[in-house]
Structure 1
Amino acid sequence: MRRSVLTALAVVVSVLSPIQASARAEDPPVTSASVTLAADAKDVATGTKVTLTGTLRGETAEGATVDLTGREVVIREVDRRDEELTAVTDAKGVFTKVVTPHTTTYWEAAFTLGAKEYTSRPVGVRVLDGTLLFDFAVAHDARRQVTASARFKLSTDPGPGGADSAVQLQFSPDGKEPWRTAQTLRPDHEGRLATSFRQSTPGWWRMYFPGTKNYAPATTKVIKAWRWSTSITGLKVTPRKLKVGKKITVTGVLKRFTAKSRKKTVPFAGRKVTVIFKCLKGAAWYTAVSGRTSKKGTFTLKPKTWCDANYQVVFDGSADTFRAYSKSVKIDTKGKPLL
């Protein structure tokens, strides 16, 4: 029985020995080593993850450079060697480690070959002071007026002279890159940001602080402020000449774009449209008469005439559409003006 066990062990040893020899043959002996280390960011905000990547290579007695695979590399802070991280090289001699610095830190990678330690050049990551950009709100009303606001705060006192706190209000027609800067704003003494201006194109909005040499960048959430365009077409006004005080007939069609019809307008039913006019010798616009569009978006309105005037039809917009104006039509009247 004892002889059988010894025989079995001998067989196992004879089987394993060629495998071990083969492993050594794939990993040629080296006389020296070199280590590199790099970070995927140089300046980050507190709590941001940073990936450290490096390579480990060795030099054989014949002077050939080879990748050292499956080797353990130590990663440590230059000023704190008591705390070490480890990483193992892959098939190309590359190793990685994800770290989360909370203060400006310098790291180095080290590999020991025999009694000698080989280290990389230190790589530093600077942790910037934090920036808060919050309470962002934006609206795009029916008259194409954009109103935006937010709050801005630095995590530390910037000291004498303050910091460059220029914040960009950015726009994108589809919510994707590239973002266009619509306005550059500066916070008031309480950190409030606010602006209002006209823009015809709807889309997505955000505020962005690009950061400074001491403060980290910051971006608000993205807000979609969308409205569809509308139009008043086929306007007809009859008669063009008549006695003052008589009524004219105004007809046309109100149309709009929708999510299902982005390239072609469709009738806009059940919407209020209004005829307005301005006397040729006056500056004020007056409301003449209002009505609602039919299922096909058509309307027929019969306003009274008051003077020689230019007439228009206006739609004030809805919850998801912009305002629309028709073309202007001149009407001549006979008799003494009533205005």
Structure 2
Amino acid sequence: MGILVLLLGFPTISAHADIAGTKVQPTLTISADPTSVDPDHPTAEISGQVTVPDGSGGTVGVPGLAVDLSANAGWGSITDAVTDQTGHYTATFVPAGEDTDDVNVWANTAETSDYAAAYSGTLLVHLAKAETRISLSPDRTTAVEGTKIGLSGTVERESATGWQPAAGVSVSLYGTAAGCWPPSQTVAADTAGHFQALLPLPCTGTFTARAHGTLYQPSQATTGTIAIQQAVHFKSGASIDVYGNVTVGGSVNVDYPSGSFAGKPLAIQYSADAGKWTTIKKITFNDNGYTTRFWYGRSGYWRAVFAGDTQYAPATSAASKAWRWNTRLESVKFAPKKVRKNHYITASGKLTRAVSKTKRTGYAGQKIEIAFRFKGKKTWYHLAWGKTDKYGRFSKKVKAHGSGYYQVIFRGGADTFADWTDGKAYVRTSALGAYTAITPDRPTPPAPITGRL
């Protein structure tokens, strides 16, 4: 009876490993439900069974065996599984990527102490991609460089019941423009299929939105041309000379040049305190630069203003300070009033300067020039240089070459205007117009000195 039991038990042992020690070859099956995934059924259940012969012409499931599930690299993911008590396993396949319509899935089991390795063969899962359509609208058709353009639209997909929102679909937004490189951005459509983004467009061009996804046929929409006014960058400066002549000049540049500024209008503006501005002169650009010189006779601040056009945005240069202080020749005398020819007379007086808008002082250590013109002649001659003392006073003897007119000239300092007497002998200096601390007393330069005695 005991021998019979051994004989009856022999098939059970053979179901797992033969007596000679040869490992049993399992059978590994695989299937998918559904075999085609789409936006309404975005995943597939992968299932199968591992079986071995049961020794009596049938099969039996192998429990607790690890099943390694794989898919084409980059085209999907699938979890590994372990067989249950009946040898069955299940896993979930999630498609990925956008470059294929079909994905191969397969299963493997590794060799163990009882069983040889097994391979299921490949199973094809089809990706039924839905058609899509997309709309795109910008929030403006013109903008200044650097302004972010609001982009919005809707993505829909085709279904058995018609078009419906394509929730979660990726939307890639990018700009196209000649001569510049717009940034790009990818967003996802919300549950209603809507999407929005803010992107700058550096120069005139368009935006395109492209809807795409693993289970969607791509579609795209492009805006009309969006005109971008290029941002203008100024370099500007101003100066004022000792006679009140103002020079304003500079240059402009843009990030994405598309032409010259030559001939475009430019306003030159003045402000006494960099507060209220007044246009003093209108000029035009010379290529990508500008310069102008004119008499204004007042210290202050200057700037250039470009009103803008369809190509370039309005721009204003930084304010440039052009500043000098008033000087004045005071109490000027030539004595004596009568003298023999080639004898000497003395030119004396005082040079003062403003140090603020309300205070002035003697101008020390400054050179003053004595000039002479013969009566009835137009030519002025240099006679001598003098120098002011610490109080601004000066006294200089010069030879009297004949009857004529004398003049004292101060030709300005590093931060001061020039001044000179009116060229009438023995007549005290007189200022022209109301005095202010930041204007020269004389509106035009003295006559040029062309000779020397």
* TM-score bin, normalised by smaller chain: 0.5 to 0.7
Instruction: Give the aligned residue type for 1:285.
Output: W
Structure 1, residues 160-185: CA drift from partner, whole Å, max 9, x if none? xx986101122111112x21222222
Q: Is the 8 A contact 1:204 1:225 kept in 2?
A: yes
Q: Conserved in 2, the CA contact under 8 Å of 1:312 and 1:329?
A: yes
Report the equivalent of 1:237.
334
* Higher RCO, Cα 8 Å, sep 6+: 1
Equivalent residue, structure 2, for 1:132: 232
SS at match of 2:339: strand
The DSSP-based 3-state class of the residue aligned with 1:243 is: coil
Per-residue Cα deviation, 1:40-89 (whole angstroms, up to 9, x for no partner): x9965211479xxxxxxxxxxxxxxxxxxxxxxxxx6355786699xxxx
Q: What is the match of residue 223 of structure 1? A: 320
Which among 292, 295, 298 is matched to residue 201 of structure 1?
A: 298
Match of 1:168 among 267, 286, 290: 267
Gaps of 5+ in 1: 1-38, 51-75, 86-97, 106-125, 332-337
Q: CA RMSD in A?
A: 3.7
Give the SS at the match of 1:302.
strand
Structure whose residues are more often helix by fraction: 1
Checking the alignment, whether the CA contact within 8 Å between 1:275 and 1:287 is kept in structure 2 is yes
- Say yes or no: does 1:46 pair with 2:120: no
Counterpart position of 1:77: 151
Q: Specify every segment of 5 or more residues in structure 2 that has no aligned partner in the other structure, as ranges.
A: 1-138, 156-170, 172-186, 190-196, 206-225, 427-451
Alignment partners' CA distance in 1, 2:233 and 2:240:
21
Distance 1:158 1:327, change over 3 A: closer
Q: Could you tell me which of 277, 301, 307 is aligned with 2:402? A: 307
Change (3 A) 1:285 1:131: farther
Mean Cα displacement is larger for which, 266-275 or 322-331? Answer: 322-331
1:179-194 aligned within 5 A: 179-188=277-286, 190-194=287-291
Q: What letter corresponds to residue 306 of structure 1 in structure 2?
A: H
Q: Which residue of 1 aligns with 2:121?
A: none
Assess, with a 3 A threshold, how the Cα gap between structure 1 residues 242 and 187 changes in structure 2: closer, same or farther.
same
Shift of 1:275: 1.0
- State the alpha-carbon separation in 2 of the partners of residues 49 and 266 from structure 1: 57
Work out the CA distance in 2 between the residues paired with 1:276 and 1:49: 67
Residues in 2 aligned to 1:134 and 1:185: alpha-carbon distance in whole angstroms: 16
Number of residue equivalences: 236
Is contact 1:102–1:127 with CA below 8 Å preserved after alignment? no
Deviation at 1:211, TM superposition (A): 0.8
Give yes or no for contact 1:272–1:293 (8 Å, CA) kept in 2: yes
Shift in alpha-carbon separation, 1:248–1:99, aligned structure 2, 3 A: farther
Q: Residue 110 of structure 2 corresponds to which residue in structure 1? A: none
8 Å CA contact retained: 2:232, 2:313: no
Please tell me whether the aligned partners of residues 406 and 425 of structure 2 are also in contact (alpha carbons under 8 angstroms).
yes
Given that 1:314 and 1:326 are in contact with CA atoms closer than 8 Å, whether structure 2 keeps it comes out as: yes
For residue 35 of structure 1, what is the aligned residue in structure 2?
Answer: none
